[in-house]
Amino acid sequence: MRYLILLLVLFCLPACADEQPAQSVQPNILWIVGENFALDLGIYGAENVHTPNLDSLARAGLLFTNVFATSPVCAPSRSAFMTGMYQTSTDTHNMRSHRDDDYRLPDGVRPLTHRLEDAGYHTANITHIGDLEVGTGKLDLNFVNEGPIYEGSDWASLKDNQPFFAQINTPEAEYDIYDRKSAEKERVLWVGEDWHPQIATPENVSPPPYYPDHQITREEWARYLNSVSGMDVRIGWILEQLRRDGLAENTIVVFFSDNGRLEARGIHWAWDMGLHVPMIIHYPDGVQAPPQYERGGVNDEVISLLDLTATTLQMAGVDPIPDMQSQVFLGEGADSPRTYSFSARDRIDETVLRIRSVRGKRFHYLRNFDAKDGFPTLNRYKEKCFLVKPLMRSMHEQGALTGAAAMLMSPLPEEELYDTEADPHEINNLAGDPAYEAQLTEMREALEAWIIETNDLGRIMEPDSVVAPFIEEMDAWFGTPSWAKSN
């Protein structure tokens, strides 16, 4: 009988192992944050880019198509996904606010990394792998009094400090936006003889129709697309080093952007190009994937970038945090998919505008609480670094703009509604069309409910004494256009 029992046990063990692929250790988690990118990768169908590393990661992982940042600019967006709370609920919604005061996060709100450290994770914000610069170390949070956000910055320490949560912020696309000195020249992006080619040129690109077809427009568009290709090379270094260090099989890789595209009508604005961000999540074979995960699949549910916080905690095995606004979109007990993603634009630099966005799978609603000049509104950073903006201002004065480019120079309406399937560039405002009245009403009411439920603090304007130093700072950095000095 003893031998029979032993035989049964021996036969059962492999089968039981197959049935119970238990995860013995917590997985490592790596966030790769592409700064200021929209869905401009080859895997999304973008042209004039070369992104083999991210495309391969998506084919081996899960690609997300409807992810939206909570803000169209870095600091408020990062303040949200690093806490799991809307920036408008925590008073971190104005750009680079609370940098020199005694502000603290509300009770019960903590940085994501602190929660992960409590769960046994080593946290690191990586800048280099050996001599290779892979990240900027950027934080850019609207809270500075919570203690160190990360424990370290050394890639070499990760192998000896597992499980780890590491973040890498790639330096593209703003690599030359301030001085533009690298322009369209080739840049060495690899050690040795491996050069990164410039895929996009002013001659082969097709900028969006809300810009004039002009050499300046084409040069800016090519520069941006080439920064996408450059970022992909850098990501190749990171993924290769994971493999070399034997970390790939136990590391979940998450790629996303902090806000939308680095273009004049993108970043800072609550249209899709300021909010719609890429996301790829890859579970390796050594980590048990959640039930929603389909290798090589596509997820088209509406997801707020805010939801990355709770989902990352789920990956680490941390129990849900009561009252956290972030939702879990992957894992056991995941929350129901969102109907809408909500986003907010408030003061950015010296420019005070309050805009709210409600995005569903198809329709996009915007409420402009300040019906000011819209796209032409003065922002010294944008005037200096996005040459298409002063170009359009000049052409508009000359009566040389037509079509969507001319429309972009008009003041903002109180409400906007776009069918993003039929009108992906968001040019045809349907807010006044009776055929879409029901859709408009539904999304308007959804926004009004969200404002109340989340206690949107954007209704409380900053005093002039807070805004004035930003005017002085931006003038010192970028200057003030002559037309603005005379107004």
Residue-wise pLDDT for 29-59, tens only, equals: 999 999 999 999 999 999 999 999 999 999 9
* Cβ contacts of 379 within 8 Å, gap of 6 or more: 268, 348, 349, 350, 351, 474
Question: Domains of the chain: which residue ranges?
Answer: 26-485
Please give the average per-residue pLDDT across 466-471, as a whole number. 96
Is a pLDDT exceeding 60 seen at residue 183?
no
| CA 325 – CA 84 distance, rounded (Å) | 6
| CA 240 – CA 149 distance, rounded (Å) | 27
Percentage of the chain modeled with pLDDT above 70: 90
Please give the average per-residue pLDDT across 319-335, as a whole number. 95
pLDDT for the residue numbered 371: 72
Residue 14: pLDDT band with limits 50, 70, 90: very low
pLDDT for the residue numbered 179: 53
pLDDT for the residue numbered 12: 44
Higher pLDDT among residues 445 and 485, named by residue:
445
Please give the average per-residue pLDDT across 308-334, as a whole number. 96
pLDDT for the residue numbered 178: 55
Is a pLDDT exceeding 70 seen at residue 72?
yes
Is a pLDDT exceeding 90 seen at residue 133?
no
Please give the average per-residue pLDDT across 288-295, as a whole number. 96
CATH architecture, range 26-485: 3-Layer(aba) Sandwich (3.40)
What's the per-residue H, E or C state across the chain?
CHHHHHHHHHHHHHHHHHHCCCCCCCCEEEEEEECCCCCCCHHHCCCCCCCHHHHHHHHHCEEEEEEECCCCCHHHHHHHHCCCCCCCCCCCCCCCCCCCCCCCCCCCCCCHHHHHHHCCCEEEEEEEECCEECCCCCCCCCCCCCCCCCCEEEHHHCCCCCCEEEEEECCCCCCCCCCCCCCCCCECCCCCCCCECCCCCCCCCCCCCCCCCCHHHHHHHHHHHHHHHHHHHHHHHHHHHHHHCCCHHHEEEEEEECCCCCCCCCCCCCCHHHHEEEEEEECCCCCCCCCCCCCCEEECCEEECCHHHHHHHHHCCCCCCCCCCCCCCCCCCCCCCECCEEEEECCECCECCCEEEEECCCEEEEEECCCCCCCCCCCHHHHHHCCHHHHHHHHHHCCCCCHHHHHCCCCCCCEEEEECCCCCCCCCCCCCCHHHHHHHHHHHHHHHHHHHHCCCHHHCCCCHHHHHHHHHHHHHHHCCCHHHHCC
Residue 260: pLDDT band with limits 50, 70, 90: very high
pLDDT for the residue numbered 15: 41
Percentage of the chain modeled with pLDDT above 90: 85
pLDDT for the residue numbered 453: 98
* Cβ contacts of 225 within 8 Å, gap of 6 or more: 40, 46, 48, 49, 199, 200, 205
Please give the average per-residue pLDDT across 433-444, as a whole number. 98
Is a pLDDT exceeding 50 seen at residue 206?
yes
pLDDT for the residue numbered 221: 94
Residue 398: pLDDT band with limits 50, 70, 90: very high
Is a pLDDT exceeding 70 seen at residue 477?
yes
Please give the average per-residue pLDDT across 222-235, as a whole number. 91
pLDDT for the residue numbered 18: 39
Residue 21: pLDDT band with limits 50, 70, 90: very low
Please give the average per-residue pLDDT across 86-114, as a whole number. 97
Contact 298, 63 (CB under 8 A): yes
* Cβ contacts of 214 within 8 Å, gap of 6 or more: 388, 391, 395
Task: Tell me the average pLDDT of the chain.
Answer: 91
pTM (two decimals): 0.92
pLDDT for the residue numbered 487: 67
Is a pLDDT exceeding 90 seen at residue 118?
yes
> Rounded to a whole number, what is the distance in angstroms from the first to the last CA of the chain?
98
**Digit-coded pLDDT (tens) for 348-395:** 999 999 999 999 999 999 999 987 799 999 999 999 999 999 999 999
